[in-house]
Structure 1
Amino acid sequence: MSGGVGESSRMTLDNWLISRLAAEMNALLNRSRIQSILTSNSGMILSCYRRGHTLALHAVLDSNAPLAAVLEHTLRQKETSAGGWADSVAALLRGCTIDAIHAVPNDRVIFIDASSRSSFGVPSRTRIALELQPRKANALVLRRAHDDAWVIVAAAKQFQAPPTQSLALGSEPALAQARSVRVGSPYALPPARISRMDRTQFLAATRDIEPGDRASLSHLLRESDPTCSPVLAREAVFRAEAGADAGVDAGSLGARLLHAWGAVRDDLTEAQTHVQPLYVYRQSQGHEEVVTCHLIPLKSLELPEARGASLNALCLSELARGATPLNAALRPLQKRLTTMLARSRAEVKALEEARSRAADAGGLRLAGEAIYGNLAGIETGAAQFVTPEGTSIPLDPTVSAKANAAAYFKRYKKASSGLPRIEARLRVLRANQAHWEQLEWELERAAALPAADAAPLILEIATSLQRTGVGSPDQRDAARRRKRSAPGESARQGQERDRKITLSDDAIAYVGRSPRDNERLTFSVAGPNDYWFHTRGVPGAHVIVKTNGRPISERQVEEAAALAAGQSRAAASAKAEVDYTQRKNVRRHSAGRPGLVWYDNFQTVLVAPKSVTEK
């Protein structure tokens, strides 16, 4: 994290810190199994499962300060999800085991190596490359070819190298190393930074710089050694000026500077070999925003110093403050939900009109019977027939009366036989709409949540949107898996992340975090005599109240109902209606959508919504 005082508040990682971060990620994700990948142009979220926990690796391809970090959830994400630039390789990654996470030496690139075996035992290797250089950040999925070369199979950013040109005197040598990133082409590392001067040139250049010009000295040091980041260059200049390195010719500023940088490098190498807590610097004591951190103390900063054990934790807090791939992932999900809801509502309207016409099918049968009973009295070519009761029946003058009667019977049969299908389709669409409206609200809520809470919610929503239809085979299989699972298994998996609120008289309210968490609380955590709350007619969280075996009081009802209203789309309303009943009166919707339920024997209370964080 090489930013310094006065620079951008977003921290950046130099190659020394990238190496430390890769080691911490490896400790968290090694031997985990990849479950899903969610991607956008601004980053990716890789969801993995390891020893009963789901861990999500976030990579943010911010042009100024790309970052990566791993966060942990206690609920296992059983479904798979994909999207964005990695959609075509999601199946390739799913089920792979992460073998190692390591950094490229002296570079800001992290490799995530994964492997799998086919049903015939044939091994295959896949690699995810996170290139975390500012202004050039990228993420790629690579596949091992037969000649042991790595081939690009997906990339967040693809580009073509400029045409090869002859280098003029004084031009940038990095131009000759330009590379292309295209799916199907071999992978090459980003062009490495190179030293632009040797020791003799460096010493000569420092003679023309005033001793107090720290910026120019830092720039020269970085030009001479590509592994020297801005904050480390300033530290070396500070040490050289402070005369910390005795025995060096005091008259040679360049020699003192090179000696100081050598000492800094030795300290960094020692810190990499023997892992110690990081040195963390903030603007002031108690200030949460981190200015920078490193493996060694940075006396040049003159800022309050603290020790932090985990670079991954610091990166997570930085991701929570800034832009994450979640924000970009929200937009396509919101667009898709809006489109699906609009199409569903249009189809419901058309089907309701068709149902109305089908309800009048009895008139078609009566018209056919009237025509058939008066065949002899209907003239050939007549345009209508008036019954003895005075009812006018339109006729097709080009066909006989008998053919007209047959046409009316055919229309009647079609209309009446289609009515059950219309009703069935309407039930499907309404179940879909209820579920999609719930997901739409969950997306709105996720946009305001910290990254650690929003990530599993967005992954769950992306998974739900991949399902097609209601009551599809995969949903029925999921329902069977729920029935086969051991009693209380879901409750044990999520108990560490339960959102509990203490109500009056020591009653406990559990507030759902997502559709799947709503289902878990209602059907795994709640007992049959516990109380279930939900805001009427709008998407919202399930609230379960446990009263320790005592009847629920009016005060507890109001408190729990206020929580349910506060965690719903009615949260901004002055008052909201909330239904409540005992858990034994709540049952899963036959469609199998998570969190979608039927309930009866309920009561309704009108309350003012209350946030979970309010006391």
Structure 2
Amino acid sequence: MDTFVLQAIAAELSENLLGARLERISQADAHTVVFFFSGARREKRALLMSADPAHPRVYLTADPPPSLPEAPTFCRALRKHLGGLRLTRAAAGEWERVLQFSFEPGGGGPRSSDSFALMAEVMGRWSNLVLLNGATGEILEARRFVPPGPHTPRPLERGGGYQLPPEQKKRNPGALTREALKEMIREEVPGSADQEELARWLVRSVAGVSPALARELARASNAEESWAGAADALMGFVESYQKKEFAPAWVLGAGGAPVGLSAARIPGVDADSYRAFDSMNEAADAFYGRLVKDARLGEGKKRASRTLRRAGDKVRAAIEGVRRDLASADEAEDVLRKGELLLAHLDEVEEKAVAVSVSAEDGPIDIALDPRLTPSENAQKYFRRYKKLKRRASTALARLQEMEEEERFIGALAFDLEAADAVEDVLSVEEALAGAGYAGRKGARRAKEARTKGRPAARAKPYRRFVSPAGWEVIVGRNAMGNDEMLKRVGRASDTWLHARGVPGSHVLLRRGGDGPPTEPDPETLAQAAAFAAWFSRGRTDSRLTVAYLPFSRIRKPKGRRPGQVLIGAHETILVDPDAGKRLSEEWEEINRD
């Protein structure tokens, strides 16, 4: 968020939020606080403030994030001092990325003399939220305190006085003329510079210009005219800013994806480079809602991927160990034979010998010995070794089947993670890993907290429902946990169960919609449901894929099996094109009811 965007945000807040009563405060994460206001007409508004170093931001949000299970110290201090007060001021510093919010009581009473200010410093990695005594400027609480020191230009300590961030050593655009800015560019930007170099110079040299805005200004100019177009564009931008003539928009990059926010249009930049919004707060809410979700999704995927990799390595190592135990079954008979031969030739063994060669029906046999043991003790050692190898071999086959099932479970979770397009999907993978004992204490606690915090109604269902034009419902599990939910609570005896054969994928249920009696699906409907199962599987890139299907009543989940793992008996198969499932998932109506 640059200065221009923050000014537009503050102007809209001043128009729409002043006088509103602060009813509730929640903290969504270590950096983000949400303030819930009630206006004069009882309209509800949620104001989000975040000191996230990667994405600092302030705006009204239509989709407030869920709160942490327990309020941190900062949130409790805000509740103590600001709860029930009214917002009386929302303003941004002219060329600084600092917003001030003032709070006072709405009338008489014991708190009639209270006044507080909350400073939102939207400054990249130095971003902060600081609560002040409105009358004295004393710091009451802060998201991040800064102790005094020889290299600390502005300490922030509880009980200390608040100072605004030090002024940037940049030119004030409000004090510049077009000609002065053009002359600066001619003198300080090399003639051989490209647009990127000009953009970097604008960020370094002019207050209030963010990297995103600088890139847009550079696009409005060219080297042939000594970049004069950038000066004209910036001064036009400044004039709009000073007149409060804002045009809220997303700045669009390649492919139409949003890459930044803009408070006004830049002359010379194609209108197709923008997507207009009715308000700056609405533009910011949509932009950061998408950006932060994508960032959290990426972080969650990396975290879960590391856990999955460790789990896979552990299971593969266990499988190798079990296979060695199976191979040792052949060795066991050789060990038994050596023990018996040694016992039959005790008188031929010299004291403290390390080996002995004894006669057998098929020729001499060399037997290794422990010189610390007597010949009889060496024979008993061979017998004990034989029994140990036999015990291992007797359980190895069952353990191998168990470990191979575990490997398939890890593979299914890897597919779930690969296909995850929402944070909730990643949390399901982490929950499954934690339940299987692979996430460790910290991971298990994080998964549990993430799954239980916030508004239950806001959490996505672990499965998706589609309805065909003919009224058939297809229910598709989102992941292993969703597949398990379908097995336990969703499936009906009359449903048809489908799954791509031989690859990880979603469980799919097919049923007749409405309240009528169960009906057998016709071949076309069955093929459509099978296409869903093929598309929502790891085999989706195949040109043709085999899908197994059978009545849901014949599905069994043995005790102790991992989420989503089932046993199926006799079943039928159908060969389908996975791309047909993709088309149907886009064409059929998706419903969100149970």
Return closer, same or farther for 1:400/1:531 CA change in 2, 3 Å cut-off. Answer: same
Conserved 8 A contact 1:588-1:596? yes
Q: Does 1:502 align with 2:467?
A: yes
Query: For structure 1, which runs of at least 5 residues remain unmatched after alignment?
Result: 4-11, 48-54, 78-92, 112-128, 154-158, 165-175, 217-225, 233-256, 269-277, 478-490
Q: Does 1:177 align with 2:145?
A: no
Per-residue CA deviations over 1:303-358 (Å, capped at 9, x if unaligned) read: 796536845642356528x9634334433433443343234323312321122204
> Whole-Å Cα distance in 2 between the matches of residues 568 and 29 of structure 1?
47
- Name the counterpart of 2:325: 354
The CA deviation at 1:379 is 5.0
- Name the counterpart of 2:427: 459
Return closer, same or farther for 1:402/1:282 CA change in 2, 3 Å cut-off. Answer: closer
> Whole-Å Cα distance in 2 between the matches of residues 21 and 437 of structure 1?
50
- Name the counterpart of 1:514: 479
Return closer, same or farther for 1:576/1:463 CA change in 2, 3 Å cut-off. Answer: same
Q: What one-letter code is carried by the residue in structure 1 that aligns with 2:298?
A: N
Conserved 8 A contact 1:543-1:563? yes
Q: Does 1:411 align with 2:385?
A: yes
The CA deviation at 1:430 is 3.2
- Name the counterpart of 1:394: 367
- Name the counterpart of 2:538: 569
Q: Does 1:441 align with 2:441?
A: no
Return closer, same or farther for 1:148/1:314 CA change in 2, 3 Å cut-off. Answer: closer
- Name the counterpart of 1:192: 165
> Whole-Å Cα distance in 2 between the matches of residues 104 and 592 of structure 1?
58
Conserved 8 A contact 2:148-2:154? yes
> Could you say what secondary structure the match of 2:556 adopts?
strand
1:225-264 alignment runs, 5 A limit: 264=244
If asked which structure has higher relative contact order (CA below 8 Å, sep 6+), I would say 1
> Could you say what secondary structure the match of 2:541 adopts?
coil
Return closer, same or farther for 1:434/1:530 CA change in 2, 3 Å cut-off. Answer: same
- Name the counterpart of 1:116: none
The CA deviation at 1:410 is 1.0
1:164-563 alignment runs, 5 A limit: 164=151, 177=153, 192=165, 194=167, 264=244, 307=278, 310=282, 313-316=285-288, 319=291, 324-358=295-329, 360-369=331-340, 371-372=342-343, 374-375=344-345, 378-380=348-350, 383-387=356-360, 392=365, 394-396=367-369, 398=371, 400-419=374-393, 422=396, 426=400, 429-446=403-420, 449=421, 454-466=422-434, 469=437, 498-503=463-468, 505-547=470-512, 549-563=518-532
Identity, in percent, stands at 19
> Whole-Å Cα distance in 2 between the matches of residues 345 and 187 of structure 1?
58
> Whole-Å Cα distance in 2 between the matches of residues 130 and 359 of structure 1?
73
Q: What one-letter code is carried by the residue in structure 2 that aligns with 1:513?
A: R
- Name the counterpart of 2:548: 579
> Whole-Å Cα distance in 2 between the matches of residues 429 and 186 of structure 1?
60
- Name the counterpart of 1:90: none
Return closer, same or farther for 1:471/1:258 CA change in 2, 3 Å cut-off. Answer: closer
Per-residue CA deviations over 1:525-579 (Å, capped at 9, x if unaligned) read: 2112312212222221121111351123333332222211111111111122222
Return closer, same or farther for 1:45/1:556 CA change in 2, 3 Å cut-off. Answer: farther
Q: What one-letter code is carried by the residue in structure 2 that aligns with 1:314?
A: A
Per-residue CA deviations over 1:402-455 (Å, capped at 9, x if unaligned) read: 223201111022223334665565455434422322222223223xx4xxxx22
Q: What one-letter code is carried by the residue in structure 1 that aligns with 2:408?
A: A
Conserved 8 A contact 2:315-2:407? yes
Output the TM-score relative to the length of structure 1: 0.55
> Could you say what secondary structure the match of 2:328 adopts?
helix
Return closer, same or farther for 1:211/1:178 CA change in 2, 3 Å cut-off. Answer: closer
Per-residue CA deviations over 1:95-147 (Å, capped at 9, x if unaligned) read: 44866699997575799xxxxxxxxxxxxxxxxx996435x4668999xxxx9
> Whole-Å Cα distance in 2 between the matches of residues 45 and 149 of structure 1?
15
**How many residue pairs were aligned?**
462
Return closer, same or farther for 1:18/1:613 CA change in 2, 3 Å cut-off. Answer: farther
Q: What one-letter code is carried by the residue in structure 2 that aligns with 1:544?
A: L
- Name the counterpart of 1:603: 572
Q: What one-letter code is carried by the residue in structure 1 that aligns with 2:426?
A: I
Per-residue CA deviations over 1:219-255 (Å, capped at 9, x if unaligned) read: xxxxxxx9999999xxxxxxxxxxxxxxxxxxxxxxx
Conserved 8 A contact 1:519-1:594? yes
> Whole-Å Cα distance in 2 between the matches of residues 533 and 562 of structure 1?
10
- Name the counterpart of 1:17: 9
Q: What one-letter code is carried by the residue in structure 1 that aligns with 2:482?
A: D
> Could you say what secondary structure the match of 1:610 adopts?
helix
